[in-house]
Amino acid sequence: MSFMPIILWSDALVFLLLASGIATAWYVRRREHLLLPWRRVAQNATAMVSLLVLSLFLLVGLLDTLHYRAALPETNGGETVYSPEVLSVFDKLVEPLRLQTEKTYSAPFALTLYAKESISDAQGNVLHDYPRLRYGGAHLADVAQRNGDVVKRALTGALGGLLAGLLIALGSRRWLVQHGLPLRPMLIATLLLAALIGATAHLAAAYHVLGTDKVGQDVLYLSLKSIRTGLIIGTVTTLVMLPLALFLGVAAGYFRGWVDDVIQYLYTVLSSIPSVLLIAAAVLMMQVTIDTHPHWFDNSAARADLRLVFLCLILGVTSWTGLCRLLRGETLKLRELEYIQAAQSFGVSSLRILTRHIMPNVMHIILIALVMDFSALVLAEAVLSYVGVGVDPSMISFGTMINAARLEMGREPMVWWALTAAFGFMLVLVLAANLFADAVRDAFDPRLNRTEAVA
C-alpha cells in the first residue's frame, strides 16, 4: 500500500461523534413530533445559510481528520517504509499550499519578500532589494503584469465557481422545494460561496492569497488547518460534558435527598473556581504529566493530538455545571407532573422512568445548550492558547496563529495579514454558529409562543 491510515485519538472521537450524530438524525427522521422543530429551523433563511457556511467548515474539518502516513520510495528489504509525518486527506488536496513555502513574511498577492536582502543579479552585481518569491507570482516575468493577472485569475476562477455552483443549485433545486427550504436565499448563498471558493482556489494556485508567515508558510493553508482544531474543541468537549451533565443533573432532580445534596455540592465546588484558573491549573498539571512521560508518544503529532484531547476533556469537566443545574431544575419540575406520578404508581422502575419519560423531555434544553456552547468554545480556544494553557504550540489553531502574529503588529511596515486571516475565519465560523444556534433555540424553546398548531 502506498499509505497507512492513522487514527489519532481526536479522529476516533470525531468519528464517534459523527456516528452518533447520524444515528440521532436517523432516529429523528422517522418521528414526526421530533422532526417538527427541525422543520421550523429549515424554514429559517438565516439559519439555513449559516448551516451552508458551517457545513463547508465541517467538510474541511472532516477531510482534515482522515489521517495517513505516506509510503516512502525506498523499501527496507521488501517491507514498505512509511514517512513519520502524519498527513491528512486535506493536506493532500491542497498539497501546493502546504509545500510552497517562502523564506519568510510576504504580503497577500505579493511578488517579493517583505524584507530587503542582498541579491546578486546576472552580471554579478550585488543589490540590496526585495527578492522575488519562490512561488508567489513566479509565473510572471514582469512585475507590472501582476494586477491584471490577479483580476483575470479572480474573474475566471469566480466564473468557474459560479458554473459549478449553478450546476449544484439546479441539481438541488427540486430537493429544496420538496422540503420547504427557503429557495432564493440558499441559491444566492450557494452561488456566492461557489464564486468565492472558485476565485480563491484559482488565485491560490499562483499567489499567496493571504500572504505568508514568519517561516514562509501560506497563511491561507494555516487558516484552513485551524478549522479542524476549532471544530474539535467545540464538539468533542460536548462528548465529555454531556454525559456528566445529563446523568448527574437528572439524577439530582429526580432522586433528591442525599443524591441531590452530593451532586449540588460537587457542582458548587467546581463552579466556584473561576473557569480560566481551573483550566489553567488542570492544563499545567497535564503538561507536567506529558513532559515527564515522553515515552508515551511515538511522534510529536501524537503528543499534540493527545494534548488536544486532554484539553477537550478538561474543558468538558469544567463546563458541565451550568447545564447540570438547568437539567436538575427541569427534572424537579417534571417529576411532579401527573404522567410521571402515574408511571411511579404503576411500579415502573426509576431507571425506566428516567430514560423513557424524563430524558426525552429535557432534550430540548440539552440541544439548545450544546449549540450555544459551540461558539463560546471556539472563542475560548484562542484565549486559552494566548494565556498559554491551550493547544500544543506545534498544533495549528486560531489561537496559536494569533499568538504568533501578535508581536508582528509592532513591525514597520506592519505584518497584518496573519492576524486578519485568523480573526476573519474565526468571525465567520462563530457568527454562522451563533446565527444557527439562535434559530435552533427559537425553534425548540417551548416558552416562546407560537401561533401554528402542533401536529
Q: Which chain residues interact with other proteins by CB under 8 A?
A: 265, 268-274, 276-278, 280-282, 284-285, 287-289, 291-292, 294, 375, 379, 382-383, 386-389, 398, 402, 406, 409, 419, 423, 426-427, 430-431, 434-435, 438
CB 287 within 8 A of CB 247: no
For the packed helices 359-387 and 417-444, what is the interaxial angle rounded to 10 degrees? 170
In which residue are the cell numbers 459523527 written? 18
C-alpha cell at 254: 429526580
Q: Half-sphere exposure of 162 toward its Cβ, with a 13 Å CA cutoff?
A: 8
Helix (H, G, I), strand (E, B) or coil at 188: helix
For residues 106 and 214, the answer to whether their CB atoms sit within 8 Å is no
Strand runs labelled E in 52-166: 67-76, 79-82, 87-88, 117-120, 126-129
Q: What is the dihedral of CA 242, 247, 250, 251, to 10 degrees?
A: -160
| Contact status, residue 327 vs residue 247, Cβ threshold 8 Å | no
